Amino acid sequence: MVGPFTRKKFGLEQIPCSWESKTRAFTRSQRDRLEKDGLPGAEIMRLSIDEAAQDRPTMPVLIERLALRGIAAEVSYKNNGQVRGIRFSINVGEVDSMGNPKLLTITGGGLNRHKYSFPKLQSELGISYIPERDDKALRATVGNAQKLLTAFPTEKQQKDKEETAELKRTEQLVQNDLPLELTNSNLIEGEKSSQPINQPYSPPQTSPISPEPSSQLLNTPDGQSSQPSRTSSESNPLSRLSDTELLRYVRAVEQWQKNRPPEPRVELGESYQNRIEKLNRQKANLENRWRSEALELKQLGKPRSLLNPFGVKAEIIEEKQNSLLKTRANLNNIKLQLDQTQKDLTHWQQKARVYLAWSENPHTKKMNELASLLNSPPIIKRLQDIELGSTIHSAASYILESKGTPTPEGRELIGNVYRISQTGETLTIYHKERPKPIYQATIREGILSLDQFDMSETDKQIIEGVAQYLQPTQESELHKSHQIKRGGLGLG
Tens digit of each residue's pLDDT (9 = 90 or more) over 421-472? 988 889 999 998 888 898 998 887 777 878 888 888 888 888 888 888 888 7
Q: Is the pLDDT of residue 19 over 70?
A: no
Rounded to whole angstroms, the Cα distance separating 193 from 53 reads 63
Q: Which helix (H) or strand (E) holds 485?
A: helix 477-485
Does the predicted TM-score (pTM) go above 0.75?
Answer: no
Question: Quick one: average pLDDT of 94-99?
Answer: 64
What is the structure's pLDDT at 392?
87
Query: Between 179 and 403, whose confidence is greater?
Result: 403
pLDDT at residue 276 in the model? 93
The per-residue pLDDT for range 201-223, each reduced to its tens digit, is 444 443 333 333 333 333 333 33
Alpha-carbon Rg for the chain in angstroms: 41
C-alpha angle 146/148/150, rounded to 5°?
Answer: 80
Q: Which of 38-47, 142-151, 174-183, 482-491 has the highest mean pLDDT?
A: 38-47
**Angle separating helix axes 155-176 and 314-359, nearest 10 degrees:** 20
As a three-state string, the secondary structure of 404-470 is CEECCCEEEEECCCEEEEEECCEEEEEECCCCCCCEEEEEECCEEEEEEECCEHHHHHHHHHHHHHH
Maximum pairwise Cα distance, the chain: 132
pLDDT at 484 over 50: no
Residue 189, pLDDT above cutoff 80:
no
How large a percentage of the chain has pLDDT more than 70?
A: 68
Residue 225 banded pLDDT, cuts 50, 70, 90: very low
| Average confidence score pLDDT of the chain | 74
Q: Which of 189-193, 337-341, 384-388 tops mean pLDDT? A: 337-341
Domain boundaries, the chain: 13-152, 176-182+241-375, 208-236+384-492
